Amino acid sequence: MEGFVIALFVCLVLALVTKYLSVPTIPFYILAGVILGKAGLGIVQADDVSHFFSEMGLIFLLFFMGLGMKPERIAANRAAVLTSGIIDLNVNMLIGFFAAYLLGFSITESLIVASAFYISSTAMAMTSLIENRKLMLRESETIIWLMVFEDLVLIVFLAIMSAGDQNLFFFGFKILCVLGILYALALYGKEFLISILDRDDELPIIFTFAAVLTTASFAIVLQIPETMMVIALGVAFATTDPDAFEQHARPFKDVFLVVFFVFFGVTMDLSSGGGVNLFNIMVICVLAIVSKLLSGLITGLVIHGSALSGLEIWANTIGRGEFSIALAALYGSPIVGTTIAAMVIVTSILGSFTAKYSTNLRRGIVSFGRRKAPSHRVHAGR
């Protein structure tokens, strides 16, 4: 218990410092866990308490993801979603998968690494757009749709990975039945749900917490992925009053998610005996940066007709974060988890600076191009 309290206190200090410096908190929470855990000082160890809180963090993160889904908006903008999303998916998944496979990971491990490699941090991307006052840029909408498409791919991936050895037809049938029940409850119980959310006592908070945990528990009993079901619950509740649900669930998500990231770092093993290959980690980190740059440039050229727009897209989507770590925690081996964690740390820290200074970077490129232009004309005249 003492270690748990120490971890929370360190995270409080880190939260204050990172918010003041306007840099992402996730990589520093993971680093704190690494330093405090068995790879560092060894003063904090994972136990049943930390495991429970970590699971709650993951569940509420996915619930928030569901609340952010707006099926009607996706349908209305399906061309933009599909065009940008397919480019992003093909470039990053293929590079991530083949890179991991050629570095010695198994096919399953390569798929997990590629998925974490592909999915940008929605929280970081949206935060950078807001804090850097970029929501009015034409590239911002493209970035938002990219995040939506990635979230949809994540849902499909979770469903596939969770199927395991079950009969796929029966597995799919169970999922469809639960989805139908959740949708019916949200549709026909909408007035009841709104009446609960409108109360100013503790009932809305208790209801939100109980709904998420009950859904996850029933999913476990039915042997279907609780991760997917809490996303579906969020999507269903998004048809009522998603802002109210976000308000009541945010305290749980924020606190539990900090514990999730810290103790993910605590359990990391960076020793050579753990099979960790620093060369592999460096290659994955570099390719993660280059891959998003390539997909960003292609997206910018196809949708906006400008490589500079692609540079802006890359600058705000380079950071991997919460969902990459979630995939590592759910399906990754210790080696895979360490590789993904290193990638998250590197790309998220770099991404905080590229997002902040992307305008200066674009101006510098334009100025450099203008300075080079006269020399080309003189050379042509000769």
At 111 the pLDDT is 93
User: For residues 121 and 30, is the Cβ–Cβ distance under 8 A?
Assistant: no
When comparing pLDDT for 299 and 137, which is higher?
299
At 46 the pLDDT is 81
At 381 the pLDDT is 44
Q: What is the CA radius of gyration of the chain?
A: 22
At 259 the pLDDT is 86
At 380 the pLDDT is 44
**Is residue 60 one of the residues assigned to a domain?**
yes
Q: pLDDT at residue 185 above 70? A: yes
Domain with residue 186: its CATH number is 1.20.1530.10
User: For residues 155 and 231, is the Cβ–Cβ distance under 8 A?
Assistant: yes
Q: pLDDT at residue 209 above 80? A: yes
Of 11-15, 36-40, 308-312, the poorest mean pLDDT is in: 36-40
Contacting residues for 3 by C-beta, under 8 A, at least 6 apart:
36, 43, 44, 45
Q: What is the pLDDT of residues 108-135, one digit of tens each?
A: 999 999 999 999 988 888 877 887 788 7
At 1 the pLDDT is 66
Q: In terms of residue numbers, what domain contains 132? A: 54-370
Instruction: Extract the tokens encoding 8.
Output: 């929370």
At 373 the pLDDT is 62
**Is residue 33 one of the residues assigned to a domain?**
no
What is the percent of the chain where pLDDT is above 90?
23
Q: pLDDT at residue 382 above 50? A: no
**Is residue 93 one of the residues assigned to a domain?**
yes
Domains of the chain: total: 1
On average, the pLDDT of the chain sits at: 84
**Is residue 355 one of the residues assigned to a domain?**
yes
Of 65-69, 72-76, 195-199, the poorest mean pLDDT is in: 72-76
When comparing pLDDT for 220 and 340, which is higher?
340
Mean pLDDT of 197-210: 89
Mean pLDDT of 160-169: 69
Full 3-state SS string of 37-96: CCCCCCCCCCCHHHHHHHHHHHHHHHHHHHHCCCHHHHHHCHHHHHHHHHHHHHHHHHHH
- The residue behind tokens 């970029």 is 134
At 378 the pLDDT is 46
Q: What is the pLDDT of residues 313-340, one digit of tens each?
A: 999 999 998 889 888 888 888 889 889 9
Q: What is the pLDDT of residues 357-379, one digit of tens each?
A: 888 888 888 777 777 665 544 44
User: For residues 88 and 118, is the Cβ–Cβ distance under 8 A?
Assistant: yes
What one-letter code names the amino acid at 165? D
Q: What is the pLDDT of residues 270-279, one digit of tens each?
A: 665 556 688 8
Q: pLDDT category, 155, cuts 50, 70, 90? A: confident
Q: pLDDT category, 163, cuts 50, 70, 90? A: low
Quote the CA–CA distance of 135 and 287 in Å, as a whole number.
Answer: 28
**Is residue 45 one of the residues assigned to a domain?**
no
Q: What are phi and psi of 269, to 5 degrees?
A: -120, 110
DSSP characters for 267-307? T---SGGGT--HHHHHHHHHHHHHHHHHHHHHHIIIIIS-H
- Directed axis angle between helix 203-221 and helix 190-197, to 10°? 130
Q: How far is CA 15 from the centre of its chain?
A: 19
Q: pLDDT at residue 172 above 80? A: no
**Is residue 16 one of the residues assigned to a domain?**
no
Quote the CA–CA distance of 366 and 339 in Å, as a whole number.
Answer: 36
Q: What is the pLDDT of residues 229-266, one digit of tens each?
A: 888 888 888 888 888 888 888 888 888 888 888 888 88
Quote the CA–CA distance of 122 and 119 in Å, as a whole number.
Answer: 9
Quote the CA–CA distance of 6 and 208 in Å, as a whole number.
Answer: 29
Contacting residues for 60 by C-beta, under 8 A, at least 6 apart:
212, 230, 249, 252, 253, 256, 257
Instruction: Count how many Cα atoms sit within 13 Å of the Cα of residue 259 in the half-sphere of its side chain.
Output: 25
Quote the CA–CA distance of 352 and 19 in Å, as a whole number.
Answer: 12
Q: pLDDT at residue 10 above 80? A: yes
CA trace torsion 161, 166, 169, 171 (10° rounding): -70
